[in-house]
Structure 1
């Protein structure tokens, strides 16, 4: 019986992972459409959010880690955003080379505009979904993320 339960667990987690992959693809496409008129993509929006929601200015490596992404990809996006005047670099008193990333006025405005668009979109998406189900899903996904962070040595 234990082997059967193990097989069922593997099948269940695999089905969940595949559904998360499909959902991620749909979320990225929807996000791209939502913020396209702002000159953003989902990836840029995600990076702006990490910067905006960080309690203090952080270097690229810390931002990437908080998003679960690799530093090189986040660095590329941040360099593009810096070139467009959306983010800026500040000296880091704790590290000579790892400069801190901050939103400029233009970046703060872009993030605020994206958030303004996101609110009604999220409200429509949440319509007819039980709040308890959403909270349970959030807890489950958080547990899986933390499990992967431990496996990655974070």
Structure 2
């Protein structure tokens, strides 16, 4: 039996597997980000702009809400939101729940830019998903949702 250093958590098989999941997630994020940059360039967006616009397609949100939803810093979302507004792709609206925290929503131009991405996005996701069984993709999504819930419950 190996000894564990005092104050150091012992390794577990589940912990080791999760570490590998995290490492693969970093790799996937990098690849998906690279693909997003390629897809967004022809429509005049960046991956970051698409991410922020995507967060408010269904309903306007304050910058802090977008940051929480996307696990980004409020400051980085604020910078991107201000750029989107300056480019005419989004607009700020009054927030009835909070005077100072305005809501962000896409303009018609913002919705149009995101919808122009649809063909490239669907072509990309169809190509990549063709290498993985649909049931496995559904399981992956379920597990990711459970990991997000577990992470959200952590007091970091």
**3-state DSSP of counterpart to 1:101:** strand
Report the Cα distance in structure 2 between the residues aligned to 1:59 and 1:10, rounded to whole angstroms. 36
What is the TM-score when the length of structure 2 is the normalising length?
Answer: 0.88
Report the Cα distance in structure 1 between the residues aligned to 2:106 and 2:14, rounded to whole angstroms. 44
Where do 4+ consecutive residues of structure 1 move more than 4 Å?
none
Give unmatched runs, 5+ long, in structure 1: none
Alignment correspondent of 1:26: 31
CA contact (8 A) 1:64 1:70 kept: yes
Report the Cα distance in structure 2 between the residues aligned to 1:17 and 1:28, rounded to whole angstroms. 16
- Asked if residue 90 in structure 1 is aligned to residue 110 in structure 2, the reply is no
Alignment correspondent of 1:38: 43
1:73 is matched with which residue: 50, 73, 76?
Answer: 76
**3-state DSSP of counterpart to 2:56:** helix
Q: State the 1:116 CA deviation.
A: 2.8
Give unmatched runs, 5+ long, in structure 2: 4-9
- Asked if residue 10 in structure 1 is aligned to residue 24 in structure 2, the reply is no
Q: Which has the higher strand share?
A: 1
Report the Cα distance in structure 2 between the residues aligned to 1:99 and 1:84, rounded to whole angstroms. 18
CA contact (8 A) 1:45 1:114 kept: no
What is the TM-score when the length of structure 1 is the normalising length?
Answer: 0.89
Report the Cα distance in structure 1 between the residues aligned to 2:155 and 2:97, rounded to whole angstroms. 25
